[in-house]
Amino acid sequence: MGRNVLLLGPQGAGKGTQAKRIEAEYGIPHIATGDMLREAITAGTELGRRVAPILAAGELVSDELMIELIRERLGRDDAEAGFVLDGFPRTMPQAEALDETLREIGRPLTVVFELQLPEEVCTERLTKRAALEGRVDDTPEVIRTRLALYRQETEPLVEHYRATGNLVGIHADRPVDEVFAEVQEAPEHLAV
Ligand code: AMP
């Protein structure tokens, strides 16, 4: 059945970094919807053209489009070994659609990690990343929009997953190795 891992947490909490470590350690693909959208933009596909202004503004792409994208991605062969989801779901309708999809394919989430980081530290980290990576959505105004959307739309998912009983909270204001050590210690994760 594989390990089916979900990472929650605000932008800047280190989801991408931890997901890459999990991918390398457990041999499961890192599925990052933000990366998928940025690739589409770079490739100049129809999808890319549709979503480019949305990403630039830090707004959310429609649930319908995102759900279609993730269903297609989870259906690919490499996801059969498991997956580490990063950046999806971001809204309650997305979470419900994911639950349904995973039920259909008989692949419940093994563990949900919430990387916890105070908002001001997120802002600091994203501002630094702007200088390093030059992401168009790391400007101060867009950072504010993205973090506000996290609080309004995504943070409620923590309670949704707490109710399903496999939520593990991790303090993310620490070095990458320390955070990853906790990821590896999660009993739900190792039990597979
Ligand atoms: P990220 O790299 O995860 O911060 O995603 C970058 C941007 O892609 C976000 O600010 C959104 O515009 C868009 N995006 C990524 N994943 C989703 C999602 N699950 N739902 C809606 N929009 C998304």
Per-residue pLDDT tens for 91-116?
Answer: 999 999 999 999 998 899 999 999 99
User: Is it the case that residue 189 has pLDDT exceeding 70?
Assistant: no
Q: Which residue bears the tokens 């949704």?
A: 160
No. of helices (H) and no. of strands (E), the chain: 10, 5
- Please state the rounded mean pLDDT for residues 127-140: 88
Name the residue of 31, 55, 126, 151 whose CB sits within 8 Å of the most ligand 1 atoms, as the mutation to test its pocket: 55
Backbone dihedral angles phi then psi of residue 115, each to the nearest 5 degrees: -85, 115
- Please state the rounded mean pLDDT for residues 125-151: 92
- Please state the rounded mean pLDDT for residues 53-59: 97
- Please state the rounded mean pLDDT for residues 153-166: 93
Spacing, Cα 55 to ligand 1 middle (Å): 7
- Please state the rounded mean pLDDT for residues 174-178: 97
- Please state the rounded mean pLDDT for residues 57-74: 97
Q: Contact, 161 vs 169, CB < 8 A?
A: no
Q: Contact, 3 vs 110, CB < 8 A?
A: yes
pLDDT band at 10 (very low <50, low <70, confident <90, very high): very high
Spacing, Cα 62 to ligand 1 middle (Å): 10
For CA atoms 94, 90, 72, 85, give the dihedral sign: negative
The first and second tokens of residue 26, run together, are: 């457990």
Ligand 1 pocket (Cβ < 6 Å) reads: 11, 33-34, 37, 54-55, 58-61, 66, 87-88, 90, 94, 137, 146
Give Cα 28 distance to the centre of its chain. Answer: 15
Peptide bond before residue 89 is cis, with ω within 30 degrees of 0? yes
Active site residues: 15, 90, 129, 135, 146
